């Protein structure tokens, strides 16, 4: 592609260069003396042009021929099958008299149809590329370089990979994006560097300093991130609404104070605007840290605390005091959460739409009754592995949360066909139902569900003693339903 654009630059008199050096090429039309003079003047001007911005080769090592370690090679390439001469040092002579090159260059010019697209179309095409591919496009020619660095394409940065030097990549990118507005990237709103284990506090500090308009930050799996880096981000990015620090085991607090133990009093006025917070697998998070987070992030609507194994009912009590607007909450695998914690969660009332309490072994029918009584608009409930739940809890849930669309009560051995019957007669809008490893479930209960819940789309009955006839009955009545099962006779 670089060779194609180099040919066009030589024939049409338009400049094109790679990130690190000018790339030029020439075609072989036999020129007149006037054309020679014009071309020589243009080549002289183009040879003086340089690019002062850093090379994205730091982000994506080049794989193209003629480039090694992000620098231009001094070799040139030519082909008698349509490839023109491309050089990365001084511009080549305008006149090429080889007849084979002269014949081959003409059809190749016609094949470069992408160059006929106007700038706004090219920018739209580039908008679908990830960050590393966009940086590669910037190395094709001068026109692509200018288009690839269009600020509209840099509202989002996405970097992935365990080996990439993320700190340096972020520094290079932000420096380039700050070229028009020194030290500030006004367009950048989203940064996703999930799974980049080499990311450190230094990289996040670069983002915090240069991106005051940042709204979304995802650093899941970056276990070198600490509270200090999170403090920098929430302090310098006042518009941050979405924060994903799942898997960052060193993060124990999110606040506007450097000391995790100091809580922000309402008298200070300033609050963090985060609405979405994912702290899954932040194993060190404790009730005191959750108290501080709740006191600073009062606008939370989505909170995920999966496998934060040190949290207890006391932490949930703090959460309900400061964050009354929560719509989605997950405390899956928080083994110290019990019915008392669900009583606190029930204070969210009709605002709560999503609740996951999977594998909270201390939860029983009592906690389910609290939630069902006060959270009547609940749409999703995951109670898998809560072995204390029985048919009575399912019945109370079905009668009070009639708009339920997704229910997971797998590995609840005390739930039987009686509970399924109550569920089927009250929750007609049910779309997803998981009964995995429910030993008391039989085909009769499934048939009642299928006869009443026509919109069922997913049914999980793995490791259940269910007959093939019952599964076929479900398939006949719920035609769009995907059945996950372990019965080899049903297909």
What range does the domain containing 127 cover?
Answer: 117-153
The one-character DSSP state at 55 is: P
**Percent of the chain residues topping a pLDDT of 90:** 56
- Computed over its alpha carbons, how large is the radius of gyration of the chain? 31
**Residue 466 within a domain:** yes
Closest by CA to 228, choosing from 211, 214, 208, is: 208
pLDDT at 99: 47
Phi-psi region of 207 (alpha: psi -120 to 50; beta: other; left: phi over 0): alpha
Query: How far lies 62's CA from each of 18, 67, 158, in Å?
Result: 11, 6, 18
Query: How far lies 386's CA from each of 195, 212, 222, 336, 365, in Å?
Result: 31, 44, 31, 12, 10
Query: How far lies 157's CA from each of 127, 160, 190, 201, 207, in Å?
Result: 12, 10, 6, 17, 11
Give the global pTM.
Answer: 0.76
Q: Residue 270 burial (CB < 10 Å; 0-12/13-18/19+)?
A: exposed
Band of pLDDT at residue 491, cut at 50, 70 and 90: low
pLDDT at 71: 34
pLDDT at 110: 54
**Residue 54 within a domain:** no
Q: What is the 3-state secondary structure (H, E, C) of 260-283?
A: CCCCCCHHHCCCCCCCEEECCCCC
> Rounded to whole angstroms, how far apart are CA atoms 139 and 149?
11
- For 215-243, what is each residue's pLDDT tens digit? 999 999 888 899 999 999 999 999 999 99
The better pLDDT of the pair 354, 153 is held by: 354
Sign of CA dihedral 470, 471, 475, 478: positive
| Statement: residue 3 has pLDDT above 60 | no
pLDDT at 81: 33
The better pLDDT of the pair 255, 401 is held by: 401
**Residue 438 within a domain:** yes
CATH number for the domain that contains residue 437 = 3.80.10.10
CATH number for the domain that contains residue 130 = 1.20.1280
- Of 96, 129, 153, the position where a domain reaches its end is 153
Cβ neighbours, 10 Å, residue 100: 13
Tell me if 427 sits within 8 A of 453, measured CB to CB. Answer: yes
Band of pLDDT at residue 29, cut at 50, 70 and 90: very low
The helix or strand, by DSSP H or E, that contains position 33, with its residue range, turns out to be helix 33-47
Q: Considering only 50-54, 171-175, 294-298, 339-343, which range has the smallest mean pLDDT? A: 50-54
**Residue 334 within a domain:** no
Average pLDDT, stretch 57-82?
38
> Rounded to whole angstroms, how far apart are CA atoms 172 and 54?
6
**Residue 189 within a domain:** no
- For 284-315, what is each residue's pLDDT tens digit? 999 999 999 999 999 999 999 999 999 999 99
pLDDT at 175: 87
Tell me if 347 sits within 8 A of 373, measured CB to CB. Answer: no
Closest by CA to 27, choosing from 122, 94, 107, 110, is: 94
**Residue 373 within a domain:** yes
Chain mean pLDDT for the chain: 79
- Of 153, 177, 202, the position where a domain reaches its end is 153
Token look-up 């990365």 returns 88
Q: Considering only 64-68, 211-215, 327-331, which range has the smallest mean pLDDT? A: 64-68
Query: How far lies 489's CA from each of 125, 436, 466, 485, 486, in Å?
Result: 49, 18, 11, 10, 9
- For 94-133, what is each residue's pLDDT tens digit? 444 444 444 444 555 554 578 888 999 999 999 888 888 8
Domain count, the chain: 2
pLDDT at 311: 96
- For 138-161, what is each residue's pLDDT tens digit? 889 899 999 998 888 899 999 887
Q: Considering only 68-82, 120-134, 471-485, which range has the smallest mean pLDDT? A: 68-82
Q: Considering only 45-54, 317-326, 476-485, which range has the smallest mean pLDDT? A: 45-54
> Rounded to whole angstroms, how far apart are CA atoms 310 and 289?
11
| Statement: residue 36 has pLDDT above 70 | no
Q: What is the 3-state secondary structure (H, E, C) of 436-456?
A: CCCCCCCHHHHHHHHHHCCCC
Angle at which helix 201-210 crosses helix 166-177, to 10 degrees, equals 10
| Statement: residue 39 has pLDDT above 90 | no
The one-character DSSP state at 321 is: H
**Residue 426 within a domain:** yes
| Statement: residue 48 has pLDDT above 70 | no
pLDDT at 112: 59
| Statement: residue 31 has pLDDT above 80 | no
The one-character DSSP state at 85 is: E
| Statement: residue 87 has pLDDT above 70 | no
pLDDT at 322: 95
Which range, 19-33, 79-93, 107-121, 450-464, is most confident? 450-464
- Of 153, 173, 198, the position where a domain reaches its end is 153
């Amino acid at each position: 592609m670089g060779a194609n654009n180099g040919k066009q630059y030589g024939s049409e008199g338009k400049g094109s260069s790679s990130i690190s050096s000018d790339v030029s090429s020439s075609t072989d039309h036999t020129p007149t003396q006037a054309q020679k003079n014009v071309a020589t003047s243009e080549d002289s001007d183009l040879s003086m042009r340089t690019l002062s911005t850093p090379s994205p080769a730091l982000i994506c090592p080049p794989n193209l021929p003629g480039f090694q370690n992000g620098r231009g090679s001094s070799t040139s390439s030519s082909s008698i099958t349509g490839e023109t001469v491309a050089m990365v040092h001084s511009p080549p002579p305008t006149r090429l008299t080889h007849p084979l090159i002269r014949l081959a260059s003409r059809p190749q010019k016609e094949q470069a149809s992408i160059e006929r697209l106007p700038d706004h179309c090219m920018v739209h095409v580039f908008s679908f590329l990830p960050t590393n591919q966009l940086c590669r496009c910037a190395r094709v020619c001068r026109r692509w370089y200018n288009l690839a660095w269009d600020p509209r394409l840099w509202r989002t940065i996405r970097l992935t990979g365990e080996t990439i030097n993320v700190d340096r990549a972020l520094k290079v990118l932000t420096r380039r994006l700050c070229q028009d507005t020194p030290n500030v990237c006004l367009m950048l709103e989203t940064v996703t560097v999930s799974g980049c284990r080499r990311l450190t506090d230094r990289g996040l500090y670069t983002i915090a300093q240069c991106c005051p308009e940042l709204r979304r930050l995802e650093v899941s799996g970056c276990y070198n991130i600490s509270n200090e880096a999170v403090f920098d981000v929430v302090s310098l990015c006042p518009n941050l609404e979405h924060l994903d620090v799942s898997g960052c085991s060193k993060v124990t607090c999110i606040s506007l104070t450097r000391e995790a133990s100091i809580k922000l009093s309402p008298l200070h006025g300033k609050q963090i605007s985060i609405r979405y917070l994912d702290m899954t697998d932040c194993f060190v998070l404790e009730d005191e840290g959750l108290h501080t987070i709740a006191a600073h992030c009062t606008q939370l609507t989505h909170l995920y605390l999966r496998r934060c194994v040190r949290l207890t009912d006391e932490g949930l009590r703090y959460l309900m005091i400061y964050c009354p607007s929560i719509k989605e909450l997950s405390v899956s695998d928080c083994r110290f959460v019990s019915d008392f914690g669900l009583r606190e969660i029930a204070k969210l009332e009709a605002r709560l739409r999503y609740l996951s309490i999977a594998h909270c072994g201390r939860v029983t029918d009592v906690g389910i009754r609290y939630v069902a009584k006060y959270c009547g608009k609940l749409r999703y409930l995951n109670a898998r592995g809560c072995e204390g739940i029985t048919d009575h809890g399912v019945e109370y849930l079905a009668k009070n949360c009639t708009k339920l669309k997704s229910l997971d009560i797998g590995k609840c051995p005390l739930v039987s066909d009686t509970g399924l019957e109550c569920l089927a007669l009250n929750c007609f809008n049910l779309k997803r139902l998981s009964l995995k490893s429910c030993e008391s479930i039989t085909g009769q209960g499934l048939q009642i569900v299928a006869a009443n819940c026509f919109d069922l789309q997913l049914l999980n009955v793995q490791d259940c003693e269910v007959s093939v006839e019952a599964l076929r009955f479900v398939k006949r009545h719920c035609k769009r339903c995907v059945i996950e099962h372990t019965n080899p006779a049903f297909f």
